[in-house]
């Protein structure tokens, strides 16, 4: 059998050194490189013990999240320009008239990392995330055919 998938290297777990970690031992991964695809698990603004960094600051948390994505991609030899899809989950519980400015602050930081032509994306407003005080979590998929 000579399929494209059979020519790919084996899947590689991505766990960058010094990256944030969960608050308890778990078998989860920060990402996986599978052939030309890189799957980056939900990234948060946390320290190596899972404690939130940037409480109340959507810009700082967004910058930390996208830096974490960049680090996971780098572990696989990829860059932010390789992202083809990302999903953003964000927390906002203020008045409706403050929602658009909040989203725009978050998005201005995201645009520091995502250049033209940008990936497709989804943003979902949610009531909360896995750790207290987290405001944003982002997962991404990258495509790098030259790494297959």
Query: Which residues are CB-contacts of 91 (< 8 A; sequence separation ≥ 6)?
Result: 125, 126, 127, 128, 129, 134, 135, 136
Q: What is the pLDDT of residue 48?
A: 80
Measured CA to CA, the distance from residue 46 to residue 60 in angstroms comes to 11
Q: What is the pLDDT of residue 6?
A: 66
Q: What is the pLDDT of residue 3?
A: 59
Domain range summary for the chain, segments of one domain joined by +: 13-147
Query: Rounded to whole angstroms, what are the CA distances from 36 to 8, 55, 59, 78, 89?
Result: 8, 36, 31, 10, 25
Q: What is the pLDDT of residue 101?
A: 97
pLDDT in tens, 138-148: 999 999 988 65
**Element spanning 58, H or E:** helix 58-75
Q: What is the pLDDT of residue 128?
A: 96
> Whole-prediction pTM value?
0.92
Measured CA to CA, the distance from residue 19 to residue 5 in angstroms comes to 30
Q: Find the radius of gyration of the CA atoms of the chain.
A: 16
CATH architecture classification, 13-147? 2-Layer Sandwich (3.30)
- Distance between terminal CA atoms of the chain? 18
Q: What is the pLDDT of residue 147?
A: 65
Measured CA to CA, the distance from residue 119 to residue 73 in angstroms comes to 15
List the chain residues with pLDDT less than 70.
1-6, 147-148
């Amino acid at each position: 059998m000579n399929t494209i998938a059979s020519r790919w290297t084996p899947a590689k777990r991505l766990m960058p050194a010094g990256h944030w970690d969960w608050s308890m031992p778990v078998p989860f991964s920060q990402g996986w490189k599978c052939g030309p695809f890189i799957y980056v698990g939900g990234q948060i603004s946390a320290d190596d013990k899972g404690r939130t960094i940037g409480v109340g600051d959507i810009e700082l948390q967004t910058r930390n999240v996208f830096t974490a994505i960049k680090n996971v991609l780098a572990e696989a030899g990829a860059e932010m320009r390789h992202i083809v899809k990302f999903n953003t989950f964000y927390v906002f519980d203020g008045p409706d008239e403050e929602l658009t400015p909040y989203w725009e602050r978050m998005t201005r930081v995201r645009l520091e990392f995502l250049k033209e032509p940008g990936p497709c994306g989804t943003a979902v407003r949610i009531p909360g995330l896995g750790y207290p005080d987290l405001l944003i979590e982002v997962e991404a998929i990258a495509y790098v055919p030259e790494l297959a």
